């Protein structure tokens, strides 16, 4: 009985393959650029596979140091978001308590855990938004009676439209709500 009244959907967050991929390549590339720029300044070869002591420090060496530092900064930021698992959590639909709970992990501080709670009586429908083009999005929304649309799907690679529609239809059926296109 309890299983049919509560549904919980896990959200992955920042621990995705793309974040591991980009943090690795930004770190390696940034380290290479930084060492190349420092090699041009100190006139000591810090890279084993090429001789960068011949670079003129101003402007090439300065630019290499700048881009290397920037790339290392981005990679460290991505690594920290992966370690802290930012964006992970779950969506809980509880018919017993008549509540929808959306729980996510944020950055450390007073908002480390983000909890949004909505009574089922305030939920109007489940919405699907599909946009194609250069930056395609395919998302499921919780449509509230006060015209707010709360995203339920995580930021990720676009899933197949059939999978998204099936997931939204299952959720709408579970909550006895209508399904609408946004």
pLDDT tens for residues 124-178?
Answer: 999 999 888 888 888 999 999 999 999 998 877 678 889 999 999 999 999 999 9
Q: What is the pLDDT of residue 2?
A: 59
Q: What is the pLDDT of residue 122?
A: 94
In degrees and rounded to multiples of 5, residue 60 shows phi and psi of -60, -45
Q: What is the pLDDT of residue 144?
A: 94
Tokens of 178: 């209508």
pLDDT tens for residues 81-104?
Answer: 999 999 999 999 999 999 999 999
Q: What is the pLDDT of residue 108?
A: 93
Measured N-to-C along each axis, helices 62-84 and 17-42 cross at an angle, to the nearest 10 degrees, of 150
Q: Does 50 score more than 80 pLDDT?
A: yes
pLDDT tens for residues 4-39?
Answer: 889 999 998 899 999 999 999 999 999 999 999 999
Q: What is the pLDDT of residue 52?
A: 86
Q: What is the pLDDT of residue 154?
A: 82
In degrees and rounded to multiples of 5, residue 98 shows phi and psi of 60, 45
pLDDT tens for residues 68-78?
Answer: 999 999 999 99
State the pLDDT confidence band at 3, using cuts at 50, 70 and 90: low
pTM: 0.82
Pairwise pLDDT comparison (27 vs 51), residue with the higher score: 27
Q: What is the pLDDT of residue 133?
A: 85
Strand (E) positions, 41-163? 89-94, 99-105, 113-119, 123-131, 137-144, 149-151
Of the candidates 5, 13, 165, the one whose C-alpha atom is nearest the C-alpha of residue 103 is: 13
* CA dihedral sign of residues 39, 44, 48, 49: positive
Alpha-carbon distance of 164 to 125, in angstroms, equals 16
N residues, the chain:
182
């Amino acid at each position: 009985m309890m299983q049919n009244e509560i549904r919980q959907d896990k959200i992955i967050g920042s621990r995705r393959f793309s974040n591991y991929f980009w943090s690795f390549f930004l770190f390696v590339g940034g380290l290479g650029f930084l060492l190349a720029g420092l090699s041009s300044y100190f006139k000591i070869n810090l890279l084993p596979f090429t001789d960068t002591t011949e670079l003129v420090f101003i402007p090439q060496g300065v630019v290499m140091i700048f881009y290397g530092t920037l790339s290392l900064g981005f990679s460290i930021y991505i690594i920290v978001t992966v370690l802290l698992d930012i964006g992970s959590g779950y969506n809980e639909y509880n018919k017993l308590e008549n509540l929808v709970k959306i729980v996510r992990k944020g950055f450390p501080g007073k908002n480390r855990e983000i909890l949004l709670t909505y009574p089922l009586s305030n939920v109007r429908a489940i919405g699907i938004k599909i946009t194609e083009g250069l930056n395609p999005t395919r998302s499921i929304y919780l449509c509230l009676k006060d015209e707010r649309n709360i995203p339920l799907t995580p930021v990720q690679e676009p899933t197949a439209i059939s999978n998204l529609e099936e997931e939204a239809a299952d959720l709408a059926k579970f909550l006895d709500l209508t399904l609408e296109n946004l």
